[in-house]
Amino acid sequence: MVYKISATLHRIASGRLILLLLAGIFLVFFTLFANRSTRGESVPGPIDILFFYTPDEVYAMVDAYGPVVRADYIRFELTADILYPVLYTLFMCLAISLLFQRGFKAESRWQLLNLVPLGAGFFDVLENLSIVGMLALHPSRPAELAWAATSFTMLKWSIAAAALGLILVGGVASCIRLIKR
pLDDT score at 25: 94
Radius of gyration of the chain (CA): 19
What's CA 98's distance to the chain center, in Å?
20
Task: Specify the pLDDT at position 41.
Answer: 54
Nearest Cα to Cα of residue 148 among 174, 170, 125, 116: 125
Task: List the pLDDT tens digit at each of the 181 positions of the chain.
Answer: 999 999 999 999 999 999 999 999 999 888 877 666 544 456 788 999 999 999 999 999 999 999 999 999 999 999 889 999 999 999 999 999 999 999 999 999 999 999 999 999 999 999 999 999 999 999 999 999 999 999 999 999 999 999 999 999 999 999 998 898 7
Cα 63 to Cα 41: distance, rounded to the nearest angstrom? 13
0.85 surpassed by pTM? yes
**Residue-level pLDDT at 36:** 63
For 69, the 3-state DSSP assignment is: helix
Contact 91, 13 (CB under 8 A): no
Q: 173 by DSSP, 3-state: which?
A: helix
Kindly give, in sequence order, each residue whose CB lies less than 8 Å from that of residue 82, ignoring residues fewer than 6 positions away. Answer: 125, 128
Q: What is the pLDDT of residue 32?
A: 77
* pLDDT in the model for residue 181: 77
Distance (Å, whole) CA 92 – CA 138: 35
